[in-house]
Amino acid sequence: MNTTNTSIDGAIEPQPTTLLSNPNAQEGLEELIQKLEPLLAGRRLNRIVDLMSVVADVVDMTDDYMVEKLCKVYEEAIGTAWTVGNIARMAGNDVRQMDEPPTAWELIKTSKDPDVRRGIAFMFMMAKGIGKQMNHPLPDDD
């Protein structure tokens, strides 16, 4: 903000108003410094500045493709959690309605149901994938 004063000759000379000459600004700065003092003393303000830098970098890197990909991952994760929750709830209700737990023979007889066989095949394929992952040694942290 600039103020103007007229000199004796009538010429206009700009006189910049500094922030420090404004009493309201000085009072505001003093309050801000008092609030920042614990952060400065504990060097925690540095962490806040680093965090703001990281957020700014993420915003700079974000493009439409990245947002779409993150939305898709989010939707898939929520869908998976919802499905697993529903399946667990349904299975829990089925088990609670049983008078006695099934015998081993009754469990074997359930394998005639194609849905049971699909579920068992899925679990075996998951176990196969986990086994493949575990077959590769982790790199040494030297």
**Is 8 inside any structural domain?**
no
Instruction: Name 111's Cβ contacts closer than 8 Å, sequence gap at least 6.
Output: 117, 120
Query: pLDDT at residue 13 above 70?
Result: no
**90 and 68 in one domain?**
yes
Query: For the segment 32-56, what is each residue's pLDDT rounded down to a tens digit?
Result: 889 888 888 888 888 889 999 999 9
**67 and 57 in one domain?**
no
- Which residue, chain included where needed, has tokens 């709830």? 89
Domain that holds residue 80: 62-101
pLDDT for position 113: 93
**Is 115 inside any structural domain?**
yes
pLDDT for position 23: 85
The total number of structural domains that make up the chain: 3
Angle CA(98)–CA(119)–CA(105) in degrees, nearest 5? 45
**Is 79 inside any structural domain?**
yes
Higher pLDDT, 138 or 70: 70
Query: pLDDT at residue 9 above 60?
Result: no
**78 and 50 in one domain?**
no
Give CA–CA dist 90/88, Å, rounded: 6
Query: pLDDT at residue 57 above 60?
Result: yes
**Is 38 inside any structural domain?**
yes
**93 and 70 in one domain?**
yes
The torsion angles phi and psi of 11, rounded to 5 degrees, stand at: -75, 150
**116 and 96 in one domain?**
no
pLDDT for position 11: 53
Query: For the segment 82-107, what is each residue's pLDDT rounded down to a tens digit?
Result: 999 999 999 999 989 999 988 999 98
Q: How far is CA 125 from the centre of its chain?
A: 30
**Is 41 inside any structural domain?**
yes
**Is 2 inside any structural domain?**
no
